[in-house]
Amino acid sequence: MNKNMWRLAAMAALMGLSTGAPAQTVNVICSVQAEWCNMISTVYARTTGVKLNMSLKGSGEALAQLIAERDNPKTDVWFGGTGDPHLQAAESGLTLEYKSPKLPELYPWAQQQAQQSAYKTVGIYSGPLGFAYNTELAKKKKMDGPHSWADLLKPEYKGDVQVANPASSGTAYTMIATLVQLMGEDKAFEYLKGLHRNVSQYSRSGVGPLKAVARGETAVAICFIHDAPQERMAGFPVAALTPSEGTGAEIGSMSIIKGARNLEQARKFYEWALTPQAQTFGALTKQYQLPSNKATPVDANVPDFKKIKLISYDYAKYGQSSERKRLISRWEKEVGSLPH
């Protein structure tokens, strides 16, 4: 356990939480990066005596698992990942209504996420969609970093763009929904067909393209830009930009699963995860989303939302199962099936 984790463990203990050997468990699907999941798991067990059985999955895969386990749920809480799949899980009756007493402590966008789902999910962080690029590779290939969606269609980016597959990644679905709202659906799909010519690979997870940029395997990734500072701190030549035409943002969410076997402990974890103390874990593990609790200190590496042109993203509409299914099916038919 590093110094930050010990500090947080001590802080939690001072808050009056009991310590001891883990005797009870909560089964959690964790859809944020592994470092964050691991810190939550370690500190929570040490400070509460409750073990978190963590399963790391992208939000698209997490939703698929919950659908498959509908009649015999093996999960208690789904933590993190893009909010659209959480809204779809709520609509499909996979998650449980729970109105946290901490809701007034959260930013309006996090409260709205709860209201739109009839309190079956809640916002725990937000992060903008944009581009990460390898500065050394861009210089070597004499290309500028992309400043707009239109830039990604330029011939110089052929074979040098990566994005995730929307069937498995909430990040990629957010991209499609953003483009549809920005351009209109038909124009958005024409754009995606043009983008396809420059895409070298569709990864399973939303963070995969960013890792490829850091390693110099591709010049550009379409990703949530709050993940870029971590790569930069690790010494990789990664810079991030948001498109000038406008972009969407995810509302990372958390849900209690309907039929949870450890419901009482699931609610306790849910409440804990909404505290400012628990929400500092993101930045402590170099994950720089904006936390949803207004009292949580905001790290300097968190993107400044005031400087980003954000669209008025319709979370209610694009969080519907039918809309997600329809748009992904259209993408698979019209874009994903095209040869490179």
CA distance to 87, 182, 186, 320, 329, per residue, from 326 (Å): 16, 18, 13, 10, 5
Number of H helices, E strands in the chain: 15, 10
Range of the domain at 17: 3-126+250-303
Q: pLDDT, tens digit, for every residue of 150-163?
A: 999 999 999 999 99
pLDDT bin (cut points 50, 70, 90) of residue 11 is low
Q: Exposed, middle or buried by CB within 10 Å (0-12, 13-18, 19+), for 238?
A: buried
- Domain for residue 311, yes or no? no
Tell me, yes or no, whether 98 and 158 share the same domain: no
CATH code of the domain in which 76 resides: 3.40.190.10
Per-residue pLDDT for 8 more than 60? no
- Rounded to the nearest 10 degrees, the angle between the axes of helix 321-331 and helix 185-196 is 40
Number of compact structural domains in the chain:
2
Tell me, yes or no, whether 132 and 28 share the same domain: no
Q: pLDDT, tens digit, for every residue of 238-283?
A: 999 999 999 999 999 999 999 999 999 999 999 999 999 999 999 9
Lookup: tokens for 336: 């994903």
Per-residue pLDDT for 129 more than 90? yes
The pLDDT of residue 7: 58
The pLDDT of residue 247: 98
pLDDT bin (cut points 50, 70, 90) of residue 33 is confident
The pLDDT of residue 205: 86
Q: pLDDT, tens digit, for every residue of 195-245?
A: 999 999 999 988 899 999 999 999 999 999 999 999 999 999 999 999 999
Tell me, yes or no, whether 119 and 264 share the same domain: yes
Q: pLDDT, tens digit, for every residue of 78-127?
A: 999 989 889 999 999 999 999 999 999 999 999 999 999 999 999 999 99
3-state secondary structure of 172: helix
- Is residue 311 a contact partner of residue 181, using CB atoms and an 8 Å limit? yes
- Domain for residue 315, yes or no? no
Spacing of C-alpha 329 from chain mean position: 22
Tell me, yes or no, whether 117 and 199 share the same domain: no
The pLDDT of residue 340: 76
